[in-house]
Chains A and B, each alone.
Chain A
């Protein structure tokens, strides 16, 4: 009895290309060892604003519930604090799996409507690819103009103070070899889509 049950679940895994993709990655290799103990959810400082806490995400991955997992806001809320990863008794690299899920979301263009983190990420990354460095002011303005122009106005006095103290520069710094960096990141993007 026990044996046949196990075989069934194994088949369920094999049926799902999603789970295969995840366990074939370096990050997700141990996903099937999850014992559903809930330590990750208990460690997570932001679980209360997630739709599914990390433990549930792992249960859903195991069941091959691709759409639900990709539409979840959880990976976008994850603060990348590694606390769950440190505590997981099954040594699952949970934070790395969260990165992986975000990459799959972006590749498949399935993103929860409850987040705009994806847009923030793309502004940030484009900036780095263009200049080689991140530029806090440019980032703040671009992202806030997109969604929260009013908040941006509220930040002005603070921004001016920071600029005067030298801790916020007006213009981005471009590294010397920015052109080559752009070229090799283009190659990298072609090599690996996510």
Chain B
């Protein structure tokens, strides 16, 4: 099983442990990921706020690079997932837009095809690879763990993915397959404020704080997320808000890749978290630094 891999910038820096754990579990599952050669930043929510053509071009160049491989593309970053799918959607709707972008890309001998499939890593594992394949690899079921599935906003919120009606289930399904129990809380798909981290940091912390508070009212042992930015933002807010969180119960925030790594019994170094501490259900504020 070969797939193309588009990491996105944060997976090479602040979310490096997310990338490591995702690559490690794909390896266990026998999935061969080929990193897209010379990929560039997708432009996130910023390029599109400044110049439409540049933002389309940034996203499309990656699809142009992908075209040579003729394989579906997988990205762990929800924001990249939105950018790449946006350009596919725009160009499917408008041939002239698509031609214009391809003319620009021709300078680098690239063309892109609107037929390219772009998956987010979570939907990829749960729906394309499938829960049965995942089940076979479990060595250390997470029995007794209560896990809060926190999706963040990009995956479910964007118009790219309207089928789920804002009520996604893939994290819950994954948690159950791994032997743990998903916990219900109201802010599953609420924005963590990640995009405001630089420009409106107080507000960003407030949003993350609200999500944390709502999780702390449940009996969750862990928070799991499919987004590197959410992971970082919740951790920062947790440190800063420490005293204000009900029951003073700091919770580890891990990515779904790290959660699967725990169940596959991979070692701490590979998945970038302190396994012992988590499995002992110790209250820890931060795992990454």
A156 interface residue per 8 A CB criterion: no
Most buried by B among A99, A173, A176: A99
Residues from chain B with Cβ under 8 Å of A49 in the complex: 200, 203
What is the CA–CA distance of A82 and B53 in the complex, to the nearest angstrom?
21
Contact with A along B182-210 (1 / 0, CB 8 A): 00000001110101101110010001000
Q: Which positions 1-27 of chain B face chain A at CB distance < 8 Å? A: 9-10, 12-17
On chain A, the number of residues with a Cβ less than 8 Å from chain B's Cβ atoms is 64
Chain A residue with minimal CB distance to B158? A82
Most buried by B among A164, A184, A189, A194: A184
Contact B15 A184 (CB under 8 A): no
Contact B153 A136 (CB under 8 A): no
Chain B, interface SS category? helix
What is the CA–CA distance of A76 and B199 in the complex, to the nearest angstrom?
9
What is the CA–CA distance of A161 and B56 in the complex, to the nearest angstrom?
35
Question: Assuming the A-B contacts A136-B14, A167-B289, A194-B51, are A188 and B191 also in contact, with contact meaning beta carbons closer than 8 angstroms in the complex?
Answer: no
Chain A, interface SS category? helix
Contact B54 A83 (CB under 8 A): no
On chain B, the number of residues with a Cβ less than 8 Å from chain A's Cβ atoms is 58
Residues from chain A with Cβ under 8 Å of B200 in the complex: 46, 49, 77, 117
* B contact set with A: CB distance below 8 Å: 9-10, 12-17, 38-41, 43-54, 56-58, 61, 82, 90, 93-94, 100, 104-105, 107-108, 153-154, 156-159, 162, 166, 189-191, 193, 195-196, 198-200, 203, 207, 288-289
* A contact set with B: CB distance below 8 Å: 26, 45-46, 49, 76-77, 79-83, 85-87, 93, 95, 99, 102-103, 106, 115-117, 120-122, 124-125, 128-129, 132-137, 139-140, 143, 158, 161-162, 164-169, 173, 175-177, 180-181, 183-185, 187-189, 191-194
